[in-house]
Amino acid sequence: MKESVTSVGIDIGTSTTQLIFSKLTIENRAAGYMVPKVEIVDKEVVYCSDIYFTPLISNTEIDGEKVSAIIRAEYEKAKIKPEEVSTGAVIITGETARKQNANTVLNSLSDLAGDFVVATAGPDLESVLSGRGAGADVFSEEHRNVVANLDIGGGTTNIAVFRKGSLQGVTCLDIGGRLIKIENGRISYIYSKIQELARENGIEIRVGDEAKVQVLEEVCRLMAYELKTSLHLASESSYHKKIYTNQGKGLAEDIRVDALTFSGGVANYVYEPAETDLFRYGDIGILLGSAIAKSGILDSVECYRSEETIRATVVGAGTHTTEISGSTIFYQKDQLPIKNIPVLKLSKIDEETPQSVSKAIKAQLPIYQNEGKKELVAIALSGKPYDGFEKIQQLAAAIIEGADTLIKEKFPLIVVLEADIGKALGNALNVKLDKKKDVICIDGVRSKSGDYIDIGEPVGGGYVLPVVVKTLIFNS
């Protein structure tokens, strides 16, 4: 049995707003006597919208009505009705996610499809989405190396590092193409951090100054150097720690990058620097791309051409796959259904010992916080190294230790496994938590960091749960 469904991805970014429609072909791959296993067997982009500057009322407020009008007009151009869309994602990213009314705008758009992933993506999560949308995870798996994707947008640069297909680290810097804006040949806006970076290096630029190419090229050279430093490919400047978004931290010192990909609006001008009409977009994006290309960063490591550049994040927001959990599961029925849960996935290396499990969970949990606010997260792992009673008890203890801050919150502890140990691990977690915490532990489900999952109400006499894994469209 094959079925075609329509998926949409909507990205409202610092600089641009865009969407794509895709046709996904799904098929039950299981034999007739087995539990259904529905997978995506084909995917095709059927419509790409124009790329619009994100409309703002002020520097702190998105123009929700204009954004909504753009999206609805693109639906009409694509000749697709909202009721024809089965799944998809709408996210607000970059600086735009910090605007005062971001969540109101999201809610106003959620009626344009069925059960959307509706999330304001913080800078770390956006790094994962854009990195996978650009194909960095696939490149790292194919070449068995460490690949960093730099998603350079209007307000921020999101970096995600993948090692042999697994997420190794993320960071975000306040470096982007629209942090200096140009109108009528003069500087009309300068982001405070960029002005300070320039001043620290003896360059004075002010709003109202003539937009001199040579001066702005020098500022972009400084910005490119900070990006190079963030990858541990250059020595740290005195200003470097200040350039991270939200007082964030850089990549771990032990990360050594073998190759790079670039995505975002500036990426095209890293791969193919322009020489004319440098301020055609009313900003320094073209100059920044050229500065990165000239910085020596491409001589330090290998460079792969991204699967997507300006559309990486929106492509990374678009599809779902439905699975059925295993029959040995543990759950509290009154907590179901539950939807749109971001997945924190442990790698094979993370699972090697109980200590590494605990450490990895602690390290990744902050990625799923939006401005410090803890959110519901599903902890996903294969579970394959833990195949006996004692090992399962050790795994339960490690999960509890690593997820301590999450367990203290009101929402349930959710664990998603590939191996058939859901019931045993769920019972162990339940007992170790003195039966005072709701636990949902399911198995037979594959997922990746950056995915979202929905867990439905029990089916099959209560033995299995339907699970929707909303993953990244052209990178599974």
Among candidates 93, 251, 86, which has minimal Cα distance to 167? 251
Residues 15-30 have pLDDT tens digits of: 788 888 888 776 666 6
Burial 276-288 (b: 16+ CB within 10 A, else e): eebbebbbbbbbb
Distance CA 131, CA 309 (A): 10
Strands (E) located in 29-116: 38-48, 52-53, 56-58, 61-62, 85-92
What percent of the chain has a predicted confidence (pLDDT) above 70?
A: 79
Tokens matching residue 459: 């089916």
Residues 236-290 have pLDDT tens digits of: 999 999 999 877 789 999 999 999 999 988 988 998 888 888 999 999 999 999 9
Give the Å distances, CA to CA, from 130 to 125, 136, 202.
9, 9, 34
- What residues form DSSP beta bridges with 157? 152, 173
In the three-class reduction of DSSP (H, G, I as helix; E, B as strand; rest coil), residue 443 is classed as: coil
Among candidates 12, 18, 16, which has minimal Cα distance to 64? 12
Tokens matching residue 476: 């599974």
Pairing of strands 452-455, 466-470: antiparallel
Is pLDDT at 6 greater than 90 in this prediction?
no
**pTM of the model as a whole:** 0.68
Mean pLDDT of 295-320: 68
Burial 439-450 (b: 16+ CB within 10 A, else e): bbbbbbbbbbbb
Pairing of strands 85-92, 117-120: parallel
Q: Please, are residues 150 and 251 in contact by the beta-carbon 8 Å criterion?
A: no
Is pLDDT at 359 greater than 60 in this prediction?
yes
Q: What is the chain's mean pLDDT, rounded? A: 82
Is pLDDT at 203 greater than 70 in this prediction?
yes
Alpha-carbon 312 to chain mean position = 10
In the three-class reduction of DSSP (H, G, I as helix; E, B as strand; rest coil), residue 202 is classed as: coil
Q: Please, are residues 133 and 139 in contact by the beta-carbon 8 Å criterion?
A: no
Choose between 220 and 92: higher pLDDT. Answer: 220
Is pLDDT at 360 greater than 90 in this prediction?
yes
- What's the pLDDT at 123? 61
Distance CA 79, CA 290 (A): 38
Confidence of residue 317 (pLDDT cuts 50, 70, 90): very low
Is pLDDT at 400 greater than 50 in this prediction?
yes
List, in order, residues 6 or more apart from 164 with CB less than 8 Å away. 140, 141, 144, 145, 146
Choose between 455 and 354: higher pLDDT. Answer: 354
Question: What is the dihedral sign for C-alpha 279, 281, 286, 287?
Answer: positive
Strands (E) located in 94-234: 117-120, 146-152, 157-163, 166-173, 180-183, 186-190
Alpha-carbon 61 to chain mean position = 23
- What's the pLDDT at 473? 41
Residues 135-173 have pLDDT tens digits of: 898 899 999 999 999 999 888 899 999 999 888 889 999
Is pLDDT at 425 greater than 90 in this prediction?
yes
Treating both helix axes as pointing N-terminal to C-terminal, what angle do 136-143 and 123-134 enclose, rounded to 10 degrees?
A: 60
417 exposure class (CB count in 10 Å sphere: 0-12, 13-18, 19+): buried
Look at 86-100, 299-313, 387-401 and tell me which has the smallest mean pLDDT. 86-100
Give one word for 142, left, alpha or beta, with left for phi > 0 and alpha for psi -120 to 50: alpha
- What's the pLDDT at 298? 87
- What's the pLDDT at 474? 37
